[in-house]
Amino acid sequence: MAEAGGAGRGGTGYSRSDTGHRPLVGKALAVLAAAAAAGFAAGAVIGEEKVNASAGLYSAAAFVLLFLAAMAGVWWWNRRRAARFGMSAGRYLRVGRLVQRGKAPDDPAEREAAVDIAVRMRRSAAFHHPRLMWWLMGGVALLMSLSAVLHFVDGVYPRGWGNLLLAGMFMVSPLRMERGRRRLAAAERALGITAPA
């Protein structure tokens, strides 16, 4: 039997518990905290011989403001896209998260939005050639690792650890993109979309 919100409880849909705003708010707060921490680290450590707390606080505030501005822009853009399908921005974002997990909603109105989201995701993925991304990200990670080694040799440990962290992030990025491609292909199959060869 279908849920009150229109989505069924089948294997490809989502249950009533997925329709709350708490997961979205939790993720937004987690990213906000990460932005503040990254901003503090960038201001307090990068370019400094020792930790500069005041520079870190200014940098953290700038990172948080940039994140909030970006989040407001994304929310406004999603509200416009959602209005095309007669749904709220929150519901549209839930459909987007479902597609990102490689699933398709059961509600026909939501499936129409899911097809639009999947097509746009496929267009975006077409700009990222997997082999080129591996070479680019691997090259940057190698440079960051070499820089970290030089910082360790000079005794500048905060910068060295920061560069190692960045190197790891650059190496993880292609793996996440590959997983995203597999999930997008699964969502396209569930939606009945023929992916381009």
Cα distance between residue 108 and residue 52, in whole Å:
55
| Per-residue confidence (pLDDT) for residue 16, from 0 to 100 | 39
Residue segments in the chain with a per-residue pLDDT below the cut of 50: 1-20
| Per-residue confidence (pLDDT) for residue 10, from 0 to 100 | 41
Instruction: Assign residue 102 a region (left: φ > 0; alpha: ψ between -120 and 50; beta: otherwise).
Output: left
Cα distance between residue 96 and residue 90, in whole Å:
10
| Per-residue confidence (pLDDT) for residue 19, from 0 to 100 | 45
| Per-residue confidence (pLDDT) for residue 14, from 0 to 100 | 43
